[in-house]
A and B are shown apart, each in its own frame.
Chain A
Amino acid sequence: MAVSPQAITQRSSDERSGTLLQRGVAIGLVLYAGFVVTPASWIVLRELVIYPLAEVVAITSVLVGVYRYRPSAPQAWLLIGGGLFLFLIADVIWGVYKTLGLDPFPSLADVFYLAAYPFFAAGLVVATIRRRGYGVDVRATIDAAIVTVICGYIAWVGIVMPIVNDDMLTPFERIVTILYPAADLLLLAVAARFVIGSSWNMRALRMFVAGVFLLFMGDVIFARNSAGLQYETLWDSMLLAGILMMGVAALDPSMRALTEEPGDPWARSDKVRRVLIACAVMVPPLVLSWQQLRGRPLYFSAHLTAIVALTLLVAARFGLMAAGAERSAAREATLSDYTANLLAAAGRDRLFAIARQALTMLGKTANGKARLVLEGEHDTRREMPFRTEVKLRGKEVGTISVDADPATLRLWRESLTTIATQLSIALERDWLLATEQETAERLTQQNARLRELDAMKDRFVSAVTHELRTPLTSMMGYLEILSAGEVGELNGDQARMVNIIDRNCRRLDELISEILVTAQIDSGRLKYKFTQVDIARLASKQVESIQAVADKSDIRVELIVESQPPLLSADEMRLGQVIDNLLSNAIKFTPAGGTVTVRVAHRGDTASLEVSDTGVGIPADELDQIFGRFYRTTTATATPGTGLGLWIAQSIAKDHGGTISVTSELNVGTTFDVRLPLRAVDRPTTAQHHEVRT
């Protein structure tokens, strides 16, 4: 691991500061121990050496800390150091008085003592203001006020009133005496606000706050025993410890946090605070009861003031809590509205707009401002305490950033993450929908175009067929009249030639029909009319109708019904065409004197129709090609034909859910076997797409 020189410096400096704090604490402990063990009678050592020395250590610690750690707002620590310095002067004056055996009251020392408190308070006010972060935490202020009122009330009943009623004191002495708890209260109010409003869970701050607390306790004990002074060592040592801790705390690097750490309100929930406030309200009645039990004066005016003040503060506090609850309900509502709106909307801009709207609404529920900054937009705020990304297809398209106090931030964090996540999901969904829609549209367009092309081809073939058949009709019609001798008898040659023309016209007609059917099969527009068909009877009909042609070529055609298959669902005319195609082929390729056999049988769950001939046969390597369109075998070159008949036959067989297979032996013969399923199968009413074999 590579460590940068800067990091090394940082660490060694931190190590040194660790030693620094330890040294400060060690010196403090020595001085404290020295003070405690020194007999009360050694006034010079105690009051003029150890005490001022401890204060010098405290002040030096503050100065060293400020110099070493360079807090951005050193004035807070310097004010505290100033307070400690005033303590030093006061204690030196007091020490001199004591050494001289004097105990003047009020004295010059009191002036400096009392002047120190406002300095401490000012230091904490600066710290609180600097750490305020974003906006004023009203709840923390009210809570601190409640603490102050209770403490003030106790001080009033327990300290101030006894002084006021002390007949031994002159009015001036009373005022000065009362100024001490007043100064304490001032410091307490500020310290409470600091503690409640901020995170002080750092070594330097813990030490400092503990020091302030010791200062209070020392003052309380002093005040309660001002007459007797019997606990002088106790309260004096407490004050000494407090002063040392307040000063030495500045030797820890976390001393910077006094003014730099953003304010993080007391992490306790409202629930805990509510319990504490309820306890606080119980204090006046308890004190009242205590006073009555001890037989002391009751001070009703103090009770009344405390109760009224506490009631008002508690009411304000609960009011704020209720407002907070209302705001969180509004926040929930905003979020659920947001989700619903996102689901209902489409389009990226619209979704962003909805998110922005939700953030504005959210801003109304708390003390802060959240904004959505899109990719490419300029973010005017340099640093935001909270950011969360909005992503689309794994890429950041924007950030939601917040400018708010930490309390608001904690409340919002979850909501903002939700907003960002929901927005990312909505964007993703929107993108997918748009893409899907685009693809669907493109496919629909392609489909429409293909359908149109198919229809065009159909119309074309249909028109061409019509155009070809019209002249053919004239030619064949007049040939018929000619050969019938209706316009004069033809001689032998003439008759033969007219016959040749007629035969070729018929071939042409056949070719046109085959092309038309081929085009129809291709475009899936060949229509079928399924009925119950007796295949044996159909075969017999076809054999009969081709008999004349076969006779002419001197070929015997025989039909053998091996076993009668049940009726099958088929288009009789198309199936007839299949049989006719196979029969014509067989006759065409069989030499005179040969035999063509049609065999019908019921085989398993199929009806079988075999057409065998004793013809020229098909070479083995061409067998798998004969069903291809326009394919003509090498043995068929001398025989007229289009090469479409077998393809059409197979297409029709397929549309019936059947097959045509072929076996052949050269110069022995060929057998085509048509198999049609007897079970009902889903058949298209029009032919579907056909595989084209080449």
Chain B
Amino acid sequence: MTETRQPISSQKADGARPVVLAADDDKDILELITFRLERSGYTVLQAHDGEEALRLAQAANPSLAVLDVMMPKIDGFELTRRLRADAATSRMPIILLTARGQDADVQQGFDAGADDYLRKPFSPQELRARVQAILGRR
């Protein structure tokens, strides 16, 4: 929990940096995403499961969310649906990370309302490019 609060405070200190919510139950991957995006000029909010991600998304209203599909409590698909259903987060861009990589999963992700997806293993540079592409668009 302390890990998650720190970025929020840093967001306050540096208001110009866009906030990205990253959710993955694997700490190493979460760290990798955070490293890459923080280095690229984003503030990253870390969530270790679907529930935490939902709470953070609703509390902090981040500019974008990178969500793993296979997460405890609430999976990425369901989380996407809930975020889309909530007026506060309905317009937030979402990138899904999927390890299964089956077309059906990808389709399910888009059906749930995701904007983009990356198959695991993904290249961190590729992730940064996608995030920049989406946020730059706006």
A residues contacting B by CB (< 8 A) are: 462, 465-466, 469-478, 480-481, 484, 486, 505, 509, 513, 516, 520, 527, 529, 573
CB closest residue in chain B, given A472: B121
Distance from A693 Cβ to chain B, minimum over Cβ atoms (Å): 25
Q: Is the interface of A mostly helix, strand, loop or mixed?
A: helix
Which residues of chain A are within 8 angstroms of B121 by Cβ–Cβ distance?
A: 469, 472-473, 475-477, 505, 509
Distance from A481 Cβ to chain B, minimum over Cβ atoms (Å): 6
Given known contacts A477-B32, A481-B36, A486-B39, is B26 in contact with A470 (CB within 8 Å)?
Answer: yes
CB closest residue in chain B, given A486: B39
CB closest residue in chain A, given B124: A477
Given known contacts A472-B121, A505-B121, A509-B121, is B99 in contact with A466 (CB within 8 Å)?
Answer: yes
Interface contact tally, CB-CB below 8 A: 60
Central interface residue in B101, B104, B120, by most chain A CB within 10 Å = B120
Which residues of chain A are within 8 angstroms of B120 by Cβ–Cβ distance?
A: 469-470, 472-473
Q: Are A476 and B123 in contact (CB under 8 A)?
A: yes
Which residues of chain B are within 8 angstroms of A475 by Cβ–Cβ distance?
A: 121
Alpha-carbon gap, A476 to B99, bound state (A): 14
Which residues of chain B are within 8 angstroms of A516 by Cβ–Cβ distance?
A: 101-102
Given known contacts A473-B99, A573-B103, is B123 in contact with A481 (CB within 8 Å)?
Answer: no
B interface size (C-beta, 8 A): 20
Central interface residue in B28, B29, B121, B124, by most chain A CB within 10 Å = B121
Alpha-carbon gap, A556 to B121, bound state (A): 30
Q: Are B99 and A477 in contact (CB under 8 A)?
A: no
A480 contact from B28, B103, B123, Cβ within 8 A = B123
Q: Are A474 and B26 in contact (CB under 8 A)?
A: yes
Question: Can you name 21 A-B pairs with beta carbons within 8 Å?
Answer: A466-B99, A469-B99, A470-B120, A472-B120, A473-B29, A473-B121, A473-B122, A474-B28, A477-B32, A477-B36, A477-B122, A477-B123, A478-B32, A480-B123, A480-B124, A480-B125, A481-B124, A516-B101, A516-B102, A529-B103, A573-B103
Distance from A498 Cβ to chain B, minimum over Cβ atoms (Å): 15
Q: Are B100 and A465 in contact (CB under 8 A)?
A: yes
CB contacts under 8 Å to A, within B3-32, are 26, 28-29, 32
Q: Does B92 contact A (CB under 8 A)?
A: no
Q: Does B134 contact A (CB under 8 A)?
A: no
A466 contact from B28, B32, B100, Cβ within 8 A = B100
Alpha-carbon gap, A527 to B100, bound state (A): 14
Q: Does B74 contact A (CB under 8 A)?
A: no
Given known contacts A476-B121, A505-B121, A509-B121, is B32 in contact with A527 (CB within 8 Å)?
Answer: no
Distance from B7 Cβ to chain A, minimum over Cβ atoms (Å): 19
Which residues of chain B are within 8 angstroms of A527 by Cβ–Cβ distance?
A: 102-104
Alpha-carbon gap, A464 to B122, bound state (A): 18
Alpha-carbon gap, A472 to B29, bound state (A): 10
Alpha-carbon gap, A513 to B123, bound state (A): 17
Q: Does B112 contact A (CB under 8 A)?
A: no
Given known contacts A474-B26, A477-B32, is B103 in contact with A466 (CB within 8 Å)?
Answer: no
Which residues of chain B are within 8 angstroms of A486 by Cβ–Cβ distance?
A: 39
Q: Are B29 and A470 in contact (CB under 8 A)?
A: yes
CB closest residue in chain A, given B70: A466
Distance from A266 Cβ to chain B, minimum over Cβ atoms (Å): 89
Q: Are B29 and A477 in contact (CB under 8 A)?
A: yes
